[in-house]
């Protein structure tokens, strides 16, 4: 039972099939002048169309990258001049926060705003932080840990009213699988996307760069991606991303409904247990994410116990070192140490059935109950020497 | 690796059954055990033996250092490289592996206490605290929540059952024995603890690691206190405590003569010979430290000898046992004969013959043969 979709979902079977077929076909470098090159180029451009359509962009606005991290770095380090002022929030993904630190080290100044305790970023606060030299506002559309949806449209309107020189970037990685993301309607300048959150293999993403937005590339080399991202295209990843985007576009509404049903089911099951979990999801959150806390237990140990019983969850965002860090998001929202420590994040993708979700909820209730019983037995027996 | 394969190799190299080495007699086959894996060879072999014993092994590495980067001076253990070694070992053994972040607790329970003990003129023993408050308490909380019934570590010590319950014994390899660091273990903690390499000699552990083709088989020993690796204790204390907490003061001879000034009591340990200035006709040692007045007393070899001392916060593995015993005053110190006079949480230790090395802040651990009876913290004079 896979309830860790926000860390990266499974490759969709349709994508897997298409890619294994493609692996055996004569692909070439899409920049090559021969027929094989042209055929490969056509595949890349077809995928670009599909990705653009998923988010309401024009194909020429899509720059393929190695993933969401590179897209965020490119948006922040590539879009802002060195002495610029940048505005963002304390609950962003590490690839945004660390890139902002990089920009700061290169001479930029950065304002980090704190959201309210419900995780929502107030458009007014963003606008108030804008100064004459502000070049970029970067906001996560959907937070990966607690699922809160930010009022992107309202934020952009506020920024536009305050200044016509400020660009707005949205990290839309956690949004595109569930929300009807439309970068044109939202009037965004930049948006980061990632393939493996919608069923493509990891290693591909995109930065949507609305027309008229210029960029300093991070990687230098050949004139790929209209001189915005050098390096021979990751054709397999891009094709997978394109197909996943097409599937997501047609199935998104239905999945949203099912995710909501799953979230309701799991929420009910956890609320019915002896000591209900503390729900950390705000009212305005995507249906695919449910963060809950058992403040009397260790969330990392619960996640391990669940893993060993075949239920994959996480304690927050996955970290390359494998050591769960205390969540900067929960701390920024003012959670107590106990609540942050006892948190597990459940997140679901289209492959999770309602039955499996119910089964997972039963196992969570059981594991939590057993852990509490053991810890109580322990203190009852007394540990003093 | 499959348990059967490990069992065959363990039998081949040691002549013993993994179940017997692990001391897992009372555990059911398939019972879940958390193997604490530091990334070193001892804990890797311990995890292998547990797996060979047919237990459901879950490997866990604890993140303790405040830094994740080697460059910042955590060369001793718990670096990202060590986690990588532990993870590779877990892959080789085909057991799941998790990393548990205990940095905040380690800072509070071990590092802060280390620093404040030095600042108070005593000599701390962080390894005992780490075992008591981190490995056998916080890690146990994790293990219990993760549905484990016991913890296995790579310590060189043995647990046996006796008429008085569980008994803690020295490791079979006298050069590696770590029982001194484990004296705080209670009956309920001993009941859920396994020391699979405690019955082995270090060369056997190395040979097992080689035979099992563990990725850490050739890894060098870790030395010293893990978190101060690469610096002196005094420097570490100074880096971790504001200057206002330091106690500079006077060096005084046992006859009352003023021998000059010093930069802080944390730079001294009772029994220390270095850093006291030269010029004396016979070797001089620190014989006492009074943090209150910041006075460090310096005397000759004979001034170090003590014939009795008090131990605070004394713990007994079983019921307190007054009378003759042997006491170990520091790690690797050969225990000396004594008589114990327990009284509540305090125990008075009378040595059969006066001995040097009675250092306030250090652990005194008493033994009956190779069996640990208990221990506590050496009090100020």
Banded model confidence at residue A376, pLDDT cuts 50, 70, 90: confident
Which of A319, A354, A370, A373 is labelled catalytic?
A319
Residue B47 has pLDDT above 70, yes or no: yes
Task: Assess if residue A177 is contained within a domain.
Answer: yes
Interface predicted TM-score (ipTM) over 0.90: no
Task: Assess if residue A67 is contained within a domain.
Answer: yes
- Which range has the worst mean pLDDT, A50-64, A352-366, B25-39, B218-232? B218-232
Of residues A326 and A379, which shows the higher confidence score? A326
Task: Assess if residue A221 is contained within a domain.
Answer: yes
The reported pLDDT for the residue numbered B279 is 64
The reported pLDDT for the residue numbered B75 is 45
Q: Which residues pair with B162 in a beta bridge?
A: B165
What value does the mean pLDDT of chain A take? Answer: 91
Chain B nearest C-alpha distance from A313 (Å): 13
Q: Kindly state the greatest CA–CA separation across chain B.
A: 70
Banded model confidence at residue B69, pLDDT cuts 50, 70, 90: very low
The reported pLDDT for the residue numbered B381 is 73
- Is A100 found in the same domain as A59? yes
Task: Assess if residue A385 is contained within a domain.
Answer: no
Residue of chain B nearest A369, judged by CA positions: B145
Residue A197 · residue A9 · CB < 8 Å: yes
Task: Assess if residue A384 is contained within a domain.
Answer: no
Q: Which of A266, A260, A203 is nearest to A67 (CA)?
A: A203
Domain boundary pick from A247, A275, A290: A247
Of residues A273 and B304, which shows the higher confidence score? B304
CA distance B62 to B131: 12
Chain A nearest C-alpha distance from B5 (Å): 23
Task: Assess if residue A379 is contained within a domain.
Answer: no
Banded model confidence at residue A384, pLDDT cuts 50, 70, 90: very low
Tokens read off for B196: 């699979």
- Is A65 found in the same domain as A143? yes
- Is A235 found in the same domain as A298? no
Q: Which of B266, B201, B196, B225 is nearest to B76 (CA)?
A: B225
Which of B77, B78, B127, B226 is labelled catalytic?
B226
Q: Which residues pair with B309 in a beta bridge?
A: B349
CATH 3.40.50.620 in chain B: give the residue spans.
3-228
- Is A257 found in the same domain as A223? no
Banded model confidence at residue A374, pLDDT cuts 50, 70, 90: confident
pLDDT tens digits for range A82-103: 779 999 999 999 999 999 999 9
- The answer to whether the Cβ–Cβ distance between B144 and A371 falls below 8 Å is yes
Domain boundary pick from A192, A217, A247: A247
Q: What is the pTM of this model?
A: 0.89
- Is A233 found in the same domain as A132? yes
Residue A157 has pLDDT above 60, yes or no: yes
Q: Domain total for chain A?
A: 2
The reported pLDDT for the residue numbered A142 is 97
Banded model confidence at residue A385, pLDDT cuts 50, 70, 90: very low
User: Which residues have CB under 8 Å from A259's CB, separation 6+?
Assistant: A178, A286, A287, A288, A348
pLDDT tens digits for range B122-162: 999 999 999 999 999 999 999 999 999 999 999 999 999 98
- Is A239 found in the same domain as A175? yes
Tokens read off for A364: 């969570």
- Is A231 found in the same domain as A320? no
CATH number of the structural domain spanning residue A234: 3.40.640.10
The reported pLDDT for the residue numbered B276 is 79
pLDDT tens digits for range A187-212: 999 999 999 999 999 999 999 999 88
| B130 carries an active-site annotation | yes
The reported pLDDT for the residue numbered A12 is 95
- Is A135 found in the same domain as A64? yes
- Is A44 found in the same domain as A72? yes
The reported pLDDT for the residue numbered B283 is 86
CATH number for B247-303 (one of 2.60.40.10, 3.40.309.10, 2.30.30.280, 1.10.1740.10): it is 2.30.30.280
Task: Assess if residue A382 is contained within a domain.
Answer: no
Task: Name every chain B residue with its beta carbon within 8 A of the beta carbon of A378.
Answer: 144
- Is A237 found in the same domain as A291? no
- Is A120 found in the same domain as A260? no
Write down the CATH number for the domain with range B305-378. Answer: 2.40.30.10
- Is A260 found in the same domain as A166? no
Task: Name every chain B residue with its beta carbon within 8 A of the beta carbon of A385.
Answer: 184, 186-187, 315-317
- Residue among B68, B100, B315 minimizing CB distance to A321: B68
Burial B255-291 (b: 16+ CB within 10 A, else e): eeeebeebebbbbbbbbbeeebeeeeeeebbbbbbbb
The reported pLDDT for the residue numbered A324 is 60
Q: Which of B325, B330, B364 is nearest to B346 (CA)?
A: B364
A302 in B contact zone (CB under 8 Å): yes
The reported pLDDT for the residue numbered A378 is 61
Q: Which domain holds residue A209?
A: 12-247
pLDDT tens digits for range A325-363: 668 888 888 888 888 889 999 999 988 999 999 999 999
Residue B370 · residue B327 · CB < 8 Å: no
Q: For the residues B72-98, what does the mean pLDDT come to?
A: 81
Residue B158 · residue B172 · CB < 8 Å: yes
- The answer to whether the Cβ–Cβ distance between A305 and B187 falls below 8 Å is no
Q: For the residues B283-303, what does the mean pLDDT come to?
A: 92
Write down the CATH number for the domain with range B3-228. Answer: 3.40.50.620
User: Which residues have CB under 8 Å from B263's CB, separation 6+?
Assistant: B246, B248
């Amino acid at each position: 039972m896979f309830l860790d979709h926000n860390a990266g979902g499974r490759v969709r079977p349709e994508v897997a099939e298409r890619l294994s077929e493609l692996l055996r076909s004569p692909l070439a470098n899409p920049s090559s002048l021969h027929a094989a090159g042209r055929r490969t180029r056509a595949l890349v451009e077809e995928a670009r169309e599909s990705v653009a359509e998923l988010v309401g962009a024009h194909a020429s606005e899509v720059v393929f990258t190695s993933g969401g991290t590179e897209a965020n770095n490119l948006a922040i380090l590539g879009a802002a001049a060195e002495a610029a002022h940048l505005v963002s929030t304390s609950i962003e993904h590490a690839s945004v926060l660390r890139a902002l630190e990089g920009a700061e080290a290169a001479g930029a100044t950065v304002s980090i705003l704190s959201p309210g305790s419900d995780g929502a970023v107030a458009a007014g606060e963003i606008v108030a932080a804008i100064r004459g030299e502000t070049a970029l506002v970067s906001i996560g559309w959907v937070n990966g840990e607690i699922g809160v949806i930010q009022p992107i449209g309202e934020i952009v309107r506020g920024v536009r009213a305050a200044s016509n020189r400020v660009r707005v970037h949205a990290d839309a990685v956690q949004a595109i699988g569930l929300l009807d993301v439309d970068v044109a309607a939202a009037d965004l300048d930049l948006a980061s996307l990632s393939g493996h959150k919608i069923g493509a293999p990891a290693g591909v993403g995109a930065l949507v760069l609305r027309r008229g937005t210029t960029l300093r590339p991070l990687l230098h080399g050949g004139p790929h991606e209209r001189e915005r991202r050098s390096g021979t295209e990751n054709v397999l990843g891009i094709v997978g991303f394109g197909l996943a985007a097409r599937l997501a576009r047609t199935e998104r509404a239905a999945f949203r409904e099912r995710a909501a049903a799953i979230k309701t089911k799991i929420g009910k099951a956890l609320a019915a247990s002896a000591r209900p979990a503390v729900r950390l999801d705000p009212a305005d959150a995507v249906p695919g994410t449910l963060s809950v806390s058992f403040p009397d237990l260790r969330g990392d140990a619960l996640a391990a116990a669940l893993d060993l019983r075949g239920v994959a969850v996480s304690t927050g965002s996955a970290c390359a070192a494998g050591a769960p860090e205390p969540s900067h998001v929960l701390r920024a929202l003012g959670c107590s140490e106990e609540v942050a420590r006892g948190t597990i994040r459940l997140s679901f993708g289209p492959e999770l059935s309602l039955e499996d979700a119910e089964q997972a909820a039963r196992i969570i209730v059981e594991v939590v109950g057993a852990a509490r019983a053991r810890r109580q037995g322990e203190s009852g027996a007394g540990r003093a020497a | 690796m499959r348990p059967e394969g490990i069992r065959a190799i363990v039998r081949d190299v040691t002549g013993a059954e993994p179940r017997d080495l692990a001391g897992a007699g009372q555990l059911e086959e398939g019972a879940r055990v958390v193997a604490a894996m530091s990334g070193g060879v001892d804990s890797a072999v311990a995890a292998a033996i547990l797996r060979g014993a047919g237990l459901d092994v879950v490997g866990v590495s604890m993140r303790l250092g405040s830094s994740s980067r080697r460059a910042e001076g955590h060369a001793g253990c718990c670096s990202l490289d060590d986690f990588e070694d532990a993870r590779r070992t877990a892959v080789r053994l085909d057991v799941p592996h998790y990393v548990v972040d205990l940095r905040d607790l380690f800072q509070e329970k071990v590092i802060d206490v280390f620093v404040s003990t030095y600042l108070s003129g005593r000599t701390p023993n962080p390894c005992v605290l780490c075992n008591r408050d981190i490995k056998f308490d916080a890690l146990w909380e994790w293990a219990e929540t993760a549905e484990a019934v016991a913890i296995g570590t790579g310590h060189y010590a043995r647990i046996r059952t006796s008429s008085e319950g569980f008994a803690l014994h020295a490791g079979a390899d006298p050069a590696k024995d770590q029982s001194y660091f484990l004296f705080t273990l209670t009956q309920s903690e001993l009941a859920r603890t396994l020391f699979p390499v405690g019955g082995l000699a270090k060369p056997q552990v190395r040979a097992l690691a080689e035979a099992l083709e563990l990725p850490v088989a050739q890894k060098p020993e870790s030395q010293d206190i893990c978190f101060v690796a690469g610096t002196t204790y005094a420097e570490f204390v100074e880096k971790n405590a504001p200057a206002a907490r330091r106690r500079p003061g006077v060096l005084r001879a046992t006859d009352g003569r003023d021998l000059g000034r010093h930069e802080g009591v944390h730079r001294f340990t009772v029994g220390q010979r270095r850093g006291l200035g030269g010029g004396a006709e016979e070797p001089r040692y620190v014989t006492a430290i009074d943090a209150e007045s910041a006075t460090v007393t310096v005397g000759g070899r004979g001034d170090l000898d003590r014939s009795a001392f008090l131990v605070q916060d004394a713990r007994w593995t079983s019921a307190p046992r007054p009378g003759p015993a042997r006491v170990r005053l520091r790690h690797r110190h050969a225990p000396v004969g004594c008589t114990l006079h327990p009284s509540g949480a305090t125990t008075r230790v009378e040595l059969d013959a006066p001995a040097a090395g009675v250092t306030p802040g250090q652990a005194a651990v008493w033994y009956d043969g190779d069996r640990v009876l208990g221990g506590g913290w050496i009090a100020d004079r």
